[in-house]
């Protein structure tokens, strides 16, 4: 753990020193406002009973500022449903970090997105409809406090390392446990992306470990991705292992219309004498298909169908029709 932190600190120090020694062109600091809103109207059917809802699931408001050609900062507020208590919406700082980027090196320090599935979420590309697999099923936070360094060795291979609190962007560090992760991304041929990732968070005899592998292909006509994720000792609780895979893809009819689909399969492992595993009530299969329209820049509209089939046969399927919108400024 100490060696990893020292390595990150050394790389950041060298980057700052390199920048100080450079004599670049005259640069004028500048910034821009950003806004991203996810909203939807949906109708769900369970046991022949219908439920209608209008939701604003997320609203992000932030500001990017370029201090120099290499240094930039970003702050983003996240307005969303906390999931507990009586409040409909609460605000959190989703991102707040300093970034250094020069040539093939990118380093971040502060509250930033996790490297665990940053690329996976970008490849899936439809966060306004569904989160990426690990985020959707609680394998880890989408953002966290810490530091990360990524380096592009060539057009074919890049790698990243990170050290973070492991508790997410809604909680400050409450113990001395840190999460350390490493990922490698490979482009063996044009349009093909392969990625492997592993992280570890250890507390006494407990050891949460997350591993994922992903393969994706994308060109101007279609994209397709598949990923497999496994986590042992979820939330540092012994025996709470679960895993799953996700398939997703898109077919581009033209620049403004896409057909998108996704299939998830989540299972948990039974390491006790219980009749069912610890996450059995939340295990299941998800299917989604929709038609995405992009009438103007910054607006995406997708009517889609979603089906959730629980692993527990005593529970009913949930069939839903959604109209999802993404508004980006």
- Burial label for 322, CB within 10 Å (0-12, 13-18, 19+), is buried
- What is residue 318's three-state secondary structure? strand
Contact 149, 12 (CB under 8 A): yes
Q: What is the mean pLDDT of the chain?
A: 89
Question: pLDDT (tens digit, 9 = 90+) per residue, 90-141?
Answer: 888 899 999 999 999 999 999 999 988 889 999 999 999 999 999 999 998 8
Q: Write out pLDDT tens, residues 260-301.
A: 999 999 999 877 677 788 999 999 999 999 999 999 999 999
Contact (Cβ atoms closer than 8 angstroms) between residue 169 and residue 140: no
> Is pLDDT of 158 > 80?
yes
The C-alpha atoms of residue 155 and residue 157 are separated, in whole angstroms, by 6
> Nearest-CA neighbor of 140 among 280, 262, 235?
235
Using DSSP bridges, classify how beta strands 157-164 and 222-232 pair: parallel, antiparallel or unpaired: unpaired
Beta partners for residue 12, in sequence order = none
Bridge partners, residue 140, by sequence:
none
Rounded to whole angstroms, the Cα distance separating 36 from 211 reads 30
Among residues 296, 289, 287, the alpha carbon closest in space to that of 326 is found at 296
Give the pLDDT band (50/70/90) at residue 45. very high
pTM, 2 dp: 0.87
């Amino acid at each position: 753990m100490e060696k990893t932190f020292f390595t990150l600190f050394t790389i950041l120090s060298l980057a700052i020193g390199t920048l100080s020694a450079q004599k670049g062109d005259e640069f004028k600091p500048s910034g821009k406002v950003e806004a991203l809103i996810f909203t939807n109207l949906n109708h769900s059917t369970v046991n022949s009973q219908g439920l209608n809802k209008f939701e604003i699931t997320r609203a992000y408001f932030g500001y990017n500022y370029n201090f120099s050609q290499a240094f930039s900062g970003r702050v983003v507020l996240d307005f969303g449903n906390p999931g507990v208590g009586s409040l409909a919406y609460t605000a959190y700082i989703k991102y707040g970090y300093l970034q250094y980027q020069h040539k093939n090196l990118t380093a971040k320090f502060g509250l930033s997105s996790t490297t665990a599935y940053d690329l996976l979420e970008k490849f899936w590309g439809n966060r306004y409809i569904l989160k990426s697999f690990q985020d959707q099923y609680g394998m880890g936070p989408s953002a966290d406090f810490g530091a990360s360094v990524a380096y592009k060795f060539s057009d074919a291979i890049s790698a990243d390392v990170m050290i973070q609190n492991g508790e997410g962007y809604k909680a400050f560090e409450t113990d001395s446990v840190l999460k350390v992760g490493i990922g490698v991304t490979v482009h063996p041929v044009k349009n093909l992306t392969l990625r492997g990732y592993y992280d570890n968070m250890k507390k006494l005899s407990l050891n949460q470990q997350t591993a994922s592998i992903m393969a994706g292909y994308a060109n101007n006509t279609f994209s397709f991705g598949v990923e497999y994720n496994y986590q042992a000792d979820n939330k540092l609780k012994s025996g709470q292992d679960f895993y799953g895979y996700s398939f997703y893809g898109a077919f581009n009819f033209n620049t403004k219309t896409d057909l998108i689909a996704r299939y998830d399969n989540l299972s948990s492992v039974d390491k006790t004498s219980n009749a069912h595993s610890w996450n059995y009530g939340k295990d299941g299969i998800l299917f989604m298909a929709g038609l995405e329209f992009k009438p103007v820049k910054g607006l995406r509209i997708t009517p889609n169908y979603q089906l959730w089939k629980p692993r527990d046969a005593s529970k009913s399927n949930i069939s839903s029709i959604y109209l999802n919108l993404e508004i980006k400024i």
